Amino acid sequence: MHIPDGYLSPSTCATLYALAAAGWYSALGQIKRRLATRTIPLISVFAAFSFVVMMFNVPLPGGTTGHAVGVAVAAIVLGPWGSMLSISIALAIQALFFGDGGITTLGANCFNMAIVGSFVAYGVYCVIGRGTDLRSRRRVLAAAAAGYVAINASAFVTALEFGIQPALFHDPSGSPLYAPYPLRVAIPAMMIGHLAVAGLAEGVISAGMVSYLQRADLMLLRGVENPARESETALPPANRQSPRRLWWVVASLMLLTPLGILAAGSAWGEWSSNELASRQTRAHIESASGNQAAPASAPAGLQRLSNVWTAPFPRYAPKFIKNPAFGYLLSAMFAVGFLGLASLLTGFAGRRRWTIGERS
């Protein structure tokens, strides 16, 4: 899964570098806030460990062997932020000192394996192992599933990156300039090997290590070194940012919502069946679509499905409101209130149920 230089276009590499850099920046901030001066030795040694584990040949059922990444164990012991950093550093060492993986594709490799892999592994482990004893068999299964799903999620994202290359980057004769296979070839080609071998290797090593740690070193599973397990509320109040500033920003944005009225017509691709039937609107659609002819009438499926659900605030203006600006403002207030309530309820439910790692 280590993408060498030359498989991805410069713009894809730049985009994935930007995404990875945002992840590294956030992770470094999170880890430094929680571990302070312990960050450097812990992450460095763990990255070295991840590097060495990547060199292990893991024997698999059927007689074959595969290499693991160690992302699930890193996410379980260090949490997703710490795992993201340590796996990224291990990948950087591989690329810079051992030539394994490219320099221009380092961002992509870190995004796929360190960022996507860490969060997927941590999420799967938390969901399956939630509320169980640290020594339970379910934790072992959770680790196996976390490793298997994380590697396959990383492979899937890699396949997507490969698969979009021929459509986006080709010469005038249609010859692909980078990875040559479209999504319909890239996805199965990547996924078959990972579903059958690499995912199993990661699952086997993750489950085996968690099983070993349950007997030999339970402290590591408890998350003593795990910054992500520490509750946000454990921070002193002075370190917590006040939400007041956020509310002011939200209020300002709500007041600005009537600006949406200034945009003429519908957004491209969001036409209603009535608009498709109108000659005047169809002329607008054609000019906005590079003079491609619009269908003579709304497609039957669109007409049928458009009647399935009628929004309470169609076009951001309830029928009883005559002033469109006030309608926009009212819609914004309703949406913010609804999302705030949903967020409060989710947070309340999360505090009650998210008790992983507390019952050992």
Partner 1 sequence: MSSFIESTIRGFARAFSNSLLAEAAASRPGLLQQLDPRVRLAGIMVLVISTVVCRQIAVIAVLFLLAAGMATASGLPVMLLAKRVWAVILGFTGLIALPALFLTPGDPLLTIPARHLAISSQGLRAAALLVLRVETAATLTTTLVLCTPWTHLLKALRSLHLPAELVVMLAMTHRYVFLLIGTANQMFESRQSRSVGVLSGAEQRKMAARTAGVLLSKSVEMSHEVYLAMLSRGFRGDIHLWTDFRMRVRDYLGLTAFIFAGLVAVWIGR
Q: Could you say which residues in the range 52-91 bind partner 1, by CB under 8 A? A: 52-53, 55-61, 63, 65, 70, 73, 77, 85, 89-90
C-alpha separations of 223 from 76, 84, 161, 236, 356 in Å: 8, 16, 34, 20, 10
Q: Does 180 bind partner 1 (CB under 8 A)?
A: yes
Q: Which of 9, 30, 83, 158 binds partner 1 (CB under 8 A)?
A: 9
Stretch that binds partner 1, among 173-181, 231-239, 303-311, 342-350 (CB under 8 A): 173-181
- Rounded to a whole number of angstroms, the minimum distance from the CB of residue 71 to partner 1 is 13
Stretch that binds partner 1, among 208-216, 303-311, 333-341, 343-351 (CB under 8 A): 208-216
- Rounded to a whole number of angstroms, the minimum distance from the CB of residue 232 to partner 1 is 22
Q: Which of 18, 22, 26, 44 binds partner 1 (CB under 8 A)?
A: 44
Here the tokens at position 320 are 């009883």
> CA 49 to CA 86: how far, in whole Å?
9
Q: CB–CB of 71/97 below 8 Å?
A: no
- Cα angle value 27/31/36 (rounded, 5°): 145
Judged by beta carbon, residue 54 or residue 329, the one nearer partner 1 is 54
Q: What is the DSSP string of 11-52?
A: HHHHHHHHHHHHHHHHHHHHHHHHHGGGHHHHHHHHHHHHHH
Looking only at residues 305 through 334 of this chain, which bind partner 1 when binding is defined by CB under 8 A? Answer: none
Q: Which of 24, 111, 125, 328 binds partner 1 (CB under 8 A)?
A: 24
Stretch that binds partner 1, among 118-126, 205-213, 259-267, 303-311 (CB under 8 A): 205-213
Sign for the pseudo-dihedral over CA of 62, 65, 66, 72: positive
Q: Which of 69, 155, 220, 329 binds partner 1 (CB under 8 A)?
A: 220
Instruction: Tell me 101's DSSP state.
Output: S
Judged by beta carbon, residue 57 or residue 289, the one nearer partner 1 is 57
Judged by beta carbon, residue 56 or residue 313, the one nearer partner 1 is 56
Judged by beta carbon, residue 174 or residue 290, the one nearer partner 1 is 174
Here the tokens at position 189 are 């080609």
Phi, psi of 139 (to 5 degrees): -65, -40
Looking only at residues 224 through 283 of this chain, which bind partner 1 when binding is defined by CB under 8 A? Answer: 225
- The footprint of partner 1 on this chain (CB under 8 A) covers a number of residues equal to 76
Element (H, E) at 78: helix 71-98
